Chains A and B, each alone.
Chain A
């Protein structure tokens, strides 16, 4: 892979939730994403994966840590200077129903992004540009004058993609872009994202909980649990040989659409549920559900270390 476009170092996002309680949504995560690469970020609800994505592009202000875009730490930039980077770092949201303003036409939804960054020029040029973009994502130029409610879920997600790509970003956070869509539509959107990535040289952070789609989309995959990255590897390695017990459980829990494989599968079922991120367990965050936990796991927190070249896991026994 080429040089890194995004370098995340010790990124933290804490939320104050009243009565002096702190929810540690993202705790000291560090990784890089190379130019043109897709990094998958997976985990269960509440593990901090969406917060991590949002904090990386400063939709939330980080509590600590750095996010470098092409060598510049964007977390310390004043708002005025950050705007140029906001253009380079865009986001596609999960819910195509909630993320489009119902009172704006598609022309204005996409055009607004152009206006903010002063890319539009004349009204005629703005319209031309939006229409061209719509055609690039598989919609028609005539759709520009319509409102979001006139579109299906898959089409709305295409509009969300158009808006993100209108300002010619280099890095896009895709926050569960397909989980609200029907199976037959998901493949359409995934193919579109891959096609656009090739055409425009985009770098993706692909946040999702559908592990088979993540494997297909991503070059490398990071697994999060209780605000921390517990394993990070090339996607083939992660799926073929997961080292962290949580990743192993997660992979064995996905039902595979194949009756023979399902019948043969040894399923590793975790006990219990995700602990509260307000009162995380001592030591290893996964130890309360881990089938292989020992005394050491409650006393000493494992570090994310290299278990083989390019494959990191945070387990004492990985």
Chain B
């Protein structure tokens, strides 16, 4: 399969009063054609910043790309002049933002916002673009699309705005769709509608998806592969099955364990991850998860672990995978090498 997006050693930081927040610290991953990849992690782990860096939507300053490269369909996005980048945005990479209440333009009709990309990128006539916009609105499941198209975002409910945003993102049939928490602001029954819609559209158009979420349930539903981020780094990647069935990083394991199983009795306490993520102005020198990790060893405090390849598809960044991680050093667990 062909690689569509290749992110190499990307680092992003933000200048703030008191220093520089190192939001993304040297991450590398690739997305192949037709693949749905999930990036999971908690707030502040750098997942949205990664998406904004790919789209070149970071506010600079305070944001700054410290290093690395982003190659999309053979072109280096970080080297493109802004004018060229505008041709990529919307046309080759579409984006669905988290909050449909604030990310649509309140002074433009929904139709105009869908048509904008078609007219600009596809050089369609206004009449043709309007016809296509009506089709798109109908595809994403908005009834009475012909009359809805001339309404403003405030006439739409939250679920309908999110559908409209999907219509905008899909207007030019982008090869890659980045969805940043696309359903977090929505109720579960509406979320189910939107997820089914995204799944169907992906199947029809064979586009690639990067789905950013903190909801592991959505990942299990929609994605092929999972990237787990913590404190600005990738700590584990694998296929959906590998991550859910055989997680190897203590953070991934902790995340899965902290959710109640559907048959969990009330007198059986949940297993939380204690503590809080580190401060990224002064990230710890070793493994960022070490202060919350029950299996942490001495080396975890001082040295960042390298990736260990567990299979063709699964890699984990943890010292427990090192051949020298003997059981007596880590409380009898994690002796696999």
Contacts and interface: CB of A to CB of B under 8 A. Distances in A.
Given A184-B255, A209-B187, A273-B190, A256 B196 contact: no
A269 interface: yes
A259 B217 CA distance: 8
Contacts, number: 114
Nearest to A212: B260
Tell me what chain B mostly uses at the interface: helix, strand, loop, or mixed.
helix
A185 B192 contact: no
B7 interface: no
B212 to A, nearest CB: 14
Interface in B244-293: 244-245, 254-256, 258-260, 262, 264, 266, 269-274, 276
B271 A255 contact: no
B188 A188 contact: no
B221 interface: yes
A101 interface: no
Nearest to B230: A184
Interface residues of B, number: 42
Contact of B188 (A154, A190, A211, A257): A211
Contacts of A185: 42, 272-273, 276
Given A213-B260, A216-B266, A216-B270, A182 B187 contact: no
Interface stretch (A57-65, A121-129, A163-171, A246-254): A246-254
A264 to B, nearest CB: 11
A86 interface: no
B255 A154 contact: no
Given A258-B220, A259-B240, A183 B258 contact: yes
Nearest to A271: B193
B270 A190 contact: yes
Given A44-B189, A185-B272, A194 B266 contact: yes
A48 to B, nearest CB: 14
A257 B270 contact: no
Tell me what chain A mostly uses at the interface: helix, strand, loop, or mixed.
helix
Interface in B183-212: 187-193, 195-196
Contacts of A183: 42, 214, 216, 255, 258-259
A216 B264 contact: yes
Interface string A181-211: 0111111101100100000000000000101
A249 B188 CA distance: 9
Contacts of A273: 157, 159-160, 190
B218 interface: yes
Contacts of B189: 44, 249-250, 253, 269-270
B258 A256 contact: no
19 contacts: A44-B190, A182-B43, A185-B272, A186-B272, A187-B258, A187-B259, A191-B269, A212-B260, A212-B262, A213-B260, A215-B262, A216-B260, A253-B188, A255-B215, A257-B216, A257-B220, A257-B244, A258-B244, A259-B240
In the A-B complex, the 5 residue pairs with the smallest Cβ-Cβ separation, listed nearest first, are: A255-B217, A187-B272, A257-B216, A44-B187, A216-B260
Interface of B: 42-43, 157, 159-160, 187-193, 195-196, 214-221, 240-241, 244-245, 254-256, 258-260, 262, 264, 266, 269-274, 276
